[in-house]
Amino acid sequence: MNTNCCNVGGHPTVPYSYSVDAEIACMYLGPVVRSLPEGVYSEITIDGKHLNILLIAENSHLLDISVAALLHQLSTVFPVYEDFQA
């Protein structure tokens, strides 16, 4: 990634009821993070029951694509947890 350009980024945090849920979500997002386009730096960490996602991209278009991919993957994880907790 070119560090001389104006980078854009985001750092959302996703809370879970249990730390094991955050760990599972982290594992589930791994393939998506590894497939993000070139020019995107990503980091996923777990802090207790919180999943922290850091995205930094060379431009806003790459950031939009990356956020959309992660949100889509997260949207498939949440219904699974709702089924188990019901």
Domain that holds residue 40: 10-85
d(Cα 80, Cα 33) in Å, to the nearest integer? 20
Residues found in the chain? 86
Within-domain flag for 5: no
Q: At what angle do helices 19-34 and 60-85 cross, to 10 degrees?
A: 140
Residue 29 DSSP code: H
The residue among 53, 58, 83, 51 whose CA lies nearest residue 69 is 53
Q: Place 86 in a pLDDT band, splitting at 50, 70 and 90.
A: low
pLDDT per position as a tens digit, 29-78: 888 888 998 999 999 999 999 999 999 999 999 999 998 998 888 888 76
Within-domain flag for 76: yes
Which CATH number does the domain housing residue 22 bear? 3.30.310.50
Paired tokens of 56: 């930094």
